[in-house]
Amino acid sequence: MELQLLVSWLLFSASLVWFLLLATKTKTKSKSQKAPSSTTNTTIPKSYPIFGSAFSLAANFHRRVQWTSDILQTIPSSTFVLHRPFGSRQVFTAQPAVVQHILKTNFPCYGKGFTFYQSINDLLGDGIFTVDGDAWKFQRQISSHEFNTKSLRKFVETVVDVELSDRLLPVLSEASLNQTTILDFQDILQRFTFDNICMIAFGYDPEYLLPSLPEAPFVKAFDESTRLSIERLNAVIPLLWKVKKVLNIGSERRLKEAVAEVRGLATKIVRDKKKVLGEKSALESVDLLSRFLNSGHSDESFVVDIVISFILAGRDTTSAALTWFFWLLSKHTHVENEILKEITGKSETVGYDEVKDMVYTHAALCESMRLYPPVAVDTKLAAHEDVLPDGTLVKKGWRVTYHVYAMGRSEKIWGPDWAEFRPERWLSRDEVGKWSFIGIDYYRYPVFQAGPRVCIGKEMAFLQMKRVVAGIMGRFRVVPAMDEGIEPEYTAHITSLMKGGFPVKIEMRSHS
């Protein structure tokens, strides 16, 4: 009887999705022939009984980040309520005062919540990005030890430098010798950051960035898992994926297989580390995984969740930021020249103190992430009824999403030149021409979140990115290998990507 009921729901959901797609197919097809500026409906989507704004959601699902961003730009309050099917509601905002309210002022009301947990749990389990309360506090407290000054210096001077000099630069050097060679620079950077985070956090070297650019089933499975997990969260009709999960069909079957691959490697990392620690009489290793295993938590599944969460944080966000940074750099010669001035005169390896002193490069990275944030949106769930600073009523169980991508494109926040890639907006110059960095309110620029859940890996990420920029730019020029006038497409799963990769040629830089 229960199976019959599930099948009935599946057929109903499938029919509904077919109806939605059919209703929007003609409209979408006719619009696709027009200029990009005319394809976007920037009004709040119309809502219908039962279905809510499902028609608009289905029509814009492939570009939901840009679509909701465009809507927010046209609303004076920079906040609107989206009506999802069956009475569900989701608040979208690009208003700094509202962001401060949900991330700090009324922080206890806005946790990750059950909706997010249910969608992401198969992949991330009870890791730091899915849980609230004491479980989150514990993981954050243990993790914070990894981000003190001593650990950061070790990270730059050992892990990053070795990976850069022994793996990344030789790969680029080889590519520069043959101008017919085209690299997917996004893939190269993901390989680099994957090796980095595994080494610093787990003391494990996956050897993913090698001259042969080896295939890694784990990485393919990880990408598939994050994509399918976030599609769950954004599903027009969540019931559909839940039924598919029970029946183990379609995307849910693929997700189950991909997650098994991911958790398989993570489990191996944990077991190997346990074995190493068991053979030592004292804690010699200070990597993050060793700290968790020596904190009294022997639950293997829990520690595996932590491993997967840190791979997500350390690999995907940093590589995404660097991918868009190098693309923007290729279009702005004056920024490239300023960074080269900053690099000139530093030692070839650019040590910890020199990296920290790269002020203009720091500003350029901030500016790049303003336009192309590694995480496009972040969603919370209201634990009880609340009223936002702009007067928007939020009821218990509503999703509240602050839109990082939209905030970076807001004229209200950044002024009429918001579309310009201008690192100088983050800087001031003294009488002798030396740059100094001007920090901007986290609630206007929540790229690293803000409030109690602000990213503890922020400084490590900047150190890594600046070291990579100095290492690459000091020797090479990264030249996009795209047709003239083609703009890469920003797409977002849990983290953002350049859709289709970033094809480039590598040119040796002349020092004459």
pLDDT in tens, 76-124: 999 999 999 998 999 999 999 999 999 999 999 999 988 899 999 999 9
Q: Distance (Å, rounded) from C-alpha 165 to C-alpha 232?
A: 40
User: What does the block give as tokens for 393?
Assistant: 């009523």
Distance, in Å, from the CA atom of 289 to the CA atom of 76, rounded to the nearest integer, reads 47
- In three state form, how does the secondary structure of 83-129 look? ECHHHCEEEEECCHHHHHHHHHHCHHHEECHHHHHHHHHHHHCCCCC
In the chain, pLDDT over 70 holds for what percent of residues? 86
Tokens in use for 490? 């920003």
Residue 394 has pLDDT above 50, yes or no: yes
Lowest-confidence segment of 80-89, 289-298, 413-422, 501-510 by average pLDDT: 289-298
Q: What's the pLDDT score for residue 37?
A: 37
pLDDT for 354: 76
Give the tens place of pLDDT for each residue, 285-317: 567 788 788 777 667 888 899 889 988 888 889
- pLDDT tens-digit profile of 232-285? 998 888 999 999 999 999 999 999 999 999 999 999 999 988 888 877 655 455
pLDDT score, position 293 = 82
455 marked among binding-site residues: yes
Give me the pLDDT at residue 4, please.
44
Q: What torsion, rounded to 10 degrees, do the Cα atoms 498, 501, 503, 507 define?
A: 70
Give the span between the Cα atoms of 39 and 35, in whole angstroms.
Answer: 7
What is the arithmetic mean of pLDDT over 336-360?
80
Q: In terms of C-beta density within 10 A (0-12 exposed, 13-18 middle, 19 or more buried), how is residue 492 classed? A: buried
Phi-psi region of 387 (alpha: psi -120 to 50; beta: other; left: phi over 0): beta
Q: Closest by alpha carbon to 94, among 433, 446, 431?
A: 446
Residue 374 has pLDDT above 90, yes or no: yes
Nearest to 239 by CA among 393, 85, 131: 85
At residue 487, the 3 state secondary structure works out as coil
Any idea what the Cα angle at residue 467 is, between residues 463 and 472, rounded to 5°? 150
Architecture of domain 60-508: Orthogonal Bundle (1.10)
Rounded CA gap, 307 and 26, in Å? 45
The tokens for 50 are: 């039962």
Burial degree of 245 (CB within 10 A; 0-12, 13-18, 19+): middle
28's CB contacts (< 8 A; 6+ apart) are 59
The chain-wide mean pLDDT, for the chain, equals 86
pLDDT band at residue 41 under the 50/70/90 scheme:
low
Going from N- to C-terminal start, the domains of the chain cover 60-508
Measure the CA–CA gap between 333 and 237, rounded to whole angstroms: 46
pLDDT grade, residue 511 (50/70/90)? Answer: low
Q: What is the pTM of this model?
A: 0.88
